[in-house]
Chain A
Amino acid sequence: MRRVSALLVLMLLTLNACAFSRGTLGDEIKTDTVNSIKKGVTTRSEVLALLGAPDRLLQLNGRDLFQYYRYDAKVGSLLLIVLNFSRVSVKSDDLFVIINREGTVEEVIASKRTEGLEFRFWPFGD
């Protein structure tokens, strides 16, 4: 009991602060919106109406490639008086829509990596 009390006192004395920070870039890419884009059916103008202008527009072997992305960053810091631990985790959601020469969607490539993003303090290990 005394040891536990001593440990608690030591932690209270050394635990200066905790910090949680979060930053995002771009709009959320909703799964429902992505699912509503159908290959060979949805047109270029419908994609633009659903998602807005792309973050990047590229030419891919004569086809248009619309890229949409969103970044999410979470920072956890454990600030002891003399020793600080911080971990910054950044992940991105990316959506690529390839539109063929006829103006309809040829391919949709999407993934949501930010869903599993957590606040972490401990910088060691995986």
Chain B
Amino acid sequence: MAGRNRAVTLLFSAVIALALSGCNVVRLTINTPLTPQSVAFITEGRTTLADVIDTLGAPDSMTDAEAGTLVTYRFLDAKYSRVNFGWLLKPWSPVDPDLVFSRSGLGTDAFDLLCDNNWVVTHHAFVRHRPAPPFTPYPF
């Protein structure tokens, strides 16, 4: 009986392993992603660049703009997942078959601040909304 249970467990493990065959889950994070909540302390016309640096650290770039200085924080949170269903046929196929579904979301996000000549923040905005893609390899 114990031997049978062991065999069933082994078979179940093998089936699970085959069902998950060729799966990859990858995540790439560049710097600490900023959210609207993490920059909520900024008040245009009052908050200085020094206040922002105290909270968020040094920016990634500073460039000259007509109305002052443009300060940019860049960050990225990308997810990638991939399933190779070809692995299911490997035990029975003489060749190495592949049927790959994969999906990823890329795009560096940024948070921009415009400071006047006294280093007071006059405008601030996210360049684009950070997507929060789930790990779903289905590309269609």
Interface size class of B (residues with CB under 8 A): 20 to 34
For residues 91 through 140 of chain B, which have their beta carbon under 8 Å from a beta carbon of chain A? 117, 119, 135
CB nearest to A82 among chain B residues = B21
Q: Are A111 and B57 in contact (CB under 8 A)?
A: yes
Does residue B32 face the partner (Cβ distance < 8 Å to A)? yes
Residues 43-84 of B, flagged 1 when their CB comes within 8 A of A and 0 if not, give 000000100010001111111100011000000000100000
Number of interface residues of A (CB under 8 A): 33
Residues 20-42 of B, flagged 1 when their CB comes within 8 A of A and 0 if not, give 11111111111110000000000
* Chain A residues whose C-beta falls within 8 Å of the C-beta of B117 in the assembled complex: 61
Q: Are B18 and A82 in contact (CB under 8 A)?
A: yes
Please, how many angstroms separate the alpha-carbon atoms of A69 and B72 in the complex? Answer: 14
Nearest Cβ on chain A to B79's Cβ, whole angstroms = 7
Does residue A14 face the partner (Cβ distance < 8 Å to B)? yes
Please, how many angstroms separate the alpha-carbon atoms of A111 and B55 in the complex? Answer: 11
Please, how many angstroms separate the alpha-carbon atoms of A42 and B111 in the complex? Answer: 31
- Given A82-B22, A82-B87, A123-B79, A87-B58 contact (CB < 8 Å): no
Q: Are B25 and A85 in contact (CB under 8 A)?
A: yes
- Given A10-B13, A58-B64, A59-B64, A123-B20 contact (CB < 8 Å): no
Q: Are B58 and A94 in contact (CB under 8 A)?
A: yes
Q: Are A6 and B9 in contact (CB under 8 A)?
A: yes
Does residue B7 face the partner (Cβ distance < 8 Å to A)? no
Please, how many angstroms separate the alpha-carbon atoms of A96 and B13 in the complex? Answer: 55
* Chain A residues whose C-beta falls within 8 Å of the C-beta of B22 in the assembled complex: 82
Nearest Cβ on chain B to A78's Cβ, whole angstroms = 10
For residues 88 through 126 of chain A, which have their beta carbon under 8 Å from a beta carbon of chain B? 88-92, 94-96, 107, 109-111, 113, 123-124
Q: Are B17 and A14 in contact (CB under 8 A)?
A: yes
Nearest Cβ on chain A to B76's Cβ, whole angstroms = 8
Nearest Cβ on chain B to A56's Cβ, whole angstroms = 8
- Given A6-B9, A60-B69, A87-B62 contact (CB < 8 Å): no
Q: Are B17 and A81 in contact (CB under 8 A)?
A: yes
Closest 5 CB pairs of A and B: A111-B57, A123-B27, A111-B58, A94-B58, A88-B28
